[in-house]
């Protein structure tokens, strides 16, 4: 089988297709969460703490000069990203938790009981010998 055939066999496995669907849905969900955080959650929070626009909140290390761009640490963008991560992590946790509740665990198969400890075996042999006499 050639390399193309091997790749086709690999790509058509169920797990790879499920992963591809998950990545596409995750990317779309990430955009939805970004819009939610940037446009719905952060404006009221910024208003409550005094009209701060978190997306524009930054620490300027060097102001813009002719021929040199501004150098700044974008703290607001970082805070927005942390909030987005928490929302996505919570949503995934709730989804996995719900799926785990739907899937019933398989009962453990009853195998042979474990052998008794050595001292119990010795006492059982002594008892059996005494019964024979």
Give the pLDDT band of residue 27 (cuts 50, 70, 90): confident
Flag whether 133 is in a domain.
no
Rg from Cα positions in the chain: 31
Classify residue 130: in a domain, yes or no. Answer: no
Stretch 31-44: mean pLDDT, rounded?
85
Residues 72-86: what's their mean pLDDT? 87
Instruction: Say what the pLDDT of residue 101 is.
Output: 83
Helix ranges (H only) for 37-74 are: 42-48
In a domain, 80, yes or no: yes
Q: What is the mean pLDDT of residues 96-114?
A: 79
Residue 128 lies in a domain: no
pLDDT of residue 96: 81
Give the domain range for residue 54. Answer: 3-104
CA distance to 57, 64, 69, 70, 73, per residue, from 60 (Å): 10, 9, 11, 7, 6
In this prediction the pTM is 0.54
Q: Which helix (H) or strand (E) holds 60?
A: strand 59-62
Q: Kindly tell me if the per-residue pLDDT of 127 is higher than 90.
A: yes
119 within some domain: no
**Is 122 inside any structural domain?**
no
Mean pLDDT of the residues in the chain: 84
If one counts the domains in the chain, the total is: 1
Q: Is residue 23 part of a domain?
A: yes
Mean pLDDT, residues 22-40: 86
Is 111 inside any structural domain?
A: no
CATH number at residue 34: 1.10.1200.120
């Amino acid at each position: 089988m050639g390399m193309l055939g091997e790749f086709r066999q690999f790509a058509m496995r169920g797990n790879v297709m499920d992963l591809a669907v998950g990545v596409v849905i995750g990317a779309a969900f990430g955009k939805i969460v970004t819009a939610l955080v940037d446009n719905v959650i952060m404006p009221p929070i910024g208003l409550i703490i005094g009209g701060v626009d978190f997306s524009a909140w930054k620490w300027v290390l060097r102001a813009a000069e002719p021929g040199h761009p501004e150098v700044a640490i974008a703290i607001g963008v970082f805070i927005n990203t942390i909030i987005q991560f928490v929302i996505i992590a919570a949503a995934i946790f709730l989804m996995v938790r719900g799926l785990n509740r739907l899937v019933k665990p398989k009962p453990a198969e009853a195998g042979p009981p474990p052998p008794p400890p050595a001292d119990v075996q010795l006492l059982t042999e002594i008892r059996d010998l005494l019964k024979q006499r």
